[in-house]
Amino acid sequence: MSPAAGMDALSQRIPALHAWYRANARDLPWRRRGDAYAVWVSEIMLQQTRVTAAIPYYERWMLALPTLRALARADDHTVLRLWEGLGYYSRARNLLRAARIVVERHGGRIPDDPREFQALPGVGPYTAAAVMSIAFGRDLAVVDGNVRRVLARLTALPEDPRSGEGRRRIDRLARDLLPPGRAGVHNQALMELGALVCPPRSPSCAACPLREPCLGRATPEAYPVRRPRKRRPHHRVAVGIVRRPDGRVLIDRRPYGGLLGGLWEFPGGKIEPGETPARAAVRELREELGVRAEPVAELPPVEHAYSHFTVTLHPLLCRFVEMDPAAGEGREWRWVPPGELPHHPMPRANRKILELLTHRWKEEPPCPTPSPGS
């Protein structure tokens, strides 16, 4: 079949795709509202998170911050706390900044102009296309992971869709298939088809409204074509849980602008080659915060995977000795009673350590004492 004939055959099946969507769309909380704020928040949450995992976060968020104006009035702490566990925290901070800009410059109304909307912090072409098409009916094609996979299979795309040429071809195809005036339902239908009928493994081709023109249905799992990826690097990190005699625990704040920026954590850092976790913890505490502390016990290591690397955290209970306040300049840190630790927004890996600590502290006296010879 020529490419043009293939496109014609696909275009003819678009009404069947929309009918399938109307009959099978999941009842998702953001679809019940459908306004631009709801679509925006959900799309940002869904960028790195599965639908089932995002739903409780979305519902919690909307209970606390039901409108854009409520979000604009919220503080950083509240927003990060609501986002905690979703990862990629710059998304939450950008939402907050963007909401404040919408209130200041657009009178609290989310702009329905794609260029104005895309000028807001954290709004890229994908989010702009999703919100503009679903909430305002703008003719913009949305290409997320589900759409990319469906289009790659429909056309038996020979390129990896993550490559430059593959991405260009998918984007062009998505635009060419978009029926004018139907972008909202169309984009959601393609995304839903990818999620429900054409997932990465075991697609249900017999139930697919696009099976007739689909060029990849004989070997769907061969698409999208994948170039091998590099292995993720692995880091070993020492974490110092420093406790004063009054029971308070030291935490510091990750710098804004970096990974997990603005979240609180137990201080520490990478273990150098040939270094033990205890030595690394002592060194990092001294270098970063001017804290002298003695490791007295080691907790079980905590494994965590980020998108671009994996880590093993080695938590060490440490006895506080002294602190040079001048050395911690430029860092935000505080001594917190253990009961207040859960109220601080933290990276998920630190939350795992906190769980270990909670069990340990239930069983042990509040302040560890050094073992003989340590």
Residues annotated as part of the active site = 43
Distance between CA 42 and CA 54 in Å, rounded?
Answer: 8
Nearest distance from C-beta of residue 24 to ligand SF4, angstroms: 13
Q: Which is nearer to ligand SF4, 17 or 128 (CB)?
A: 17
Q: Which of these ranges, 50-58, 195-203, 264-272, 321-329, lies near ligand SF4 under the rule CB under 6 A?
A: 195-203
**153 or 319: whose CB is closer to ligand SF4?**
153
How far is Cα 67 from Cα 65, in angstroms, rounded to an integer? 6
Shortest distance (Å) from residue 134 CB to ligand SF4 = 22
State in angstroms the smallest separation of the CB of 266 from ligand SF4.
46
Q: Give the range of 33-41, 113-121, 212-220, 332-340 binding ligand SF4 by CB under 6 A.
A: 212-220
If you count DSSP H runs as helices and E runs as strands, how many of each does the chain have, helices first?
A: 15, 8
Alpha-carbon gap, residue 202 to 149, rounded angstroms:
13
CB of 193 to ligand SF4, least distance (A): 7
Cα–Cα dist 253/251, whole Å: 7
Nearer CB in complex with ligand SF4: 74/210: 210
DSSP 248-279: -EEEEEPPTTSTTTT-EE--EEEPPTT--HHH
197 part of the interface to ligand SF4, by CB under 6 A: yes
Q: Which of 10, 36, 99, 208 binds ligand SF4 (CB under 6 A)?
A: 208
Q: What is the dihedral of CA 182, 186, 187, 193, to 10 degrees?
A: 170
Compute the least distance from the CB of residue 235 to ligand SF4, in Å. 38
Residue closer to ligand SF4 by CB (options 212, 246) is 212
Number of residues near ligand SF4 (by CB under 6 A): 14
Choose which of 111, 184, 203, 368 interacts with ligand SF4 (CB under 6 A). Answer: 203
Residue 319 CA, chain-centre distance (Å), reads 35
Q: Determine the residue type at 360.
A: R
User: What residues from 215 to 234 belong to the interface with ligand SF4 (CB under 6 A)?
Assistant: 216-217, 220
Q: How far is the CB of 238 from ligand SF4 (least distance, A)?
A: 47
**Exposed e or buried b per residue across 292-318, where buried means at least 16 C-beta atoms within 10 angstroms of its C-beta:** bbbbbbebeebebebeeeebebbbbbb
The residue range among 99-107, 207-215, 232-240, 282-290 that interacts with ligand SF4, by the rule CB under 6 A, is 207-215
Taking CB under 6 A as the criterion, the residue among 102, 154, 263, 311 binding ligand SF4 is 154
Mapping DSSP to helix (H, G, I), strand (E, B) and coil, where does residue 74 land? Answer: coil
| Cβ-based nearer residue to ligand SF4, 199 or 261 | 199
Phi, psi values for residue 329, rounded to 5°: -60, 140
**Per-residue tokens: 141:** 């094609």
Rg (CA), the chain: 25
Q: Choose, by CB under 6 A, the member of 211, 244, 253, 331 that binds ligand SF4.
A: 211
Smallest separation, CB 190 to ligand SF4 (Å): 10
DSSP state of 338: G
* 8 Å CB contact between 280 and 235: no
Query: Judged by CB, which is closer to ligand SF4: 38, or 210?
Result: 210
Which span sits near ligand SF4 by CB under 6 A: 31-39, 210-218, 226-234, 312-320?
210-218
The secondary element (H helix, E strand) that includes residue 239 is: strand 234-243
**Other C-beta atoms within 10 Å of 347: how many?**
21
Phi, psi values for residue 144, rounded to 5° = -105, -170
Single residue of 28, 205, 356, 367 touching ligand SF4 by CB under 6 A: 205
Asked if 198 interacts with ligand SF4 (CB under 6 A), we say yes
Residue 149 CB coordination number (10 Å): 24
154 versus 177: smaller Cβ distance to ligand SF4: 154
Which residues contact ligand SF4 by CB under 6 A? 150, 153-154, 197-198, 203, 205, 208, 210-211, 214, 216-217, 220
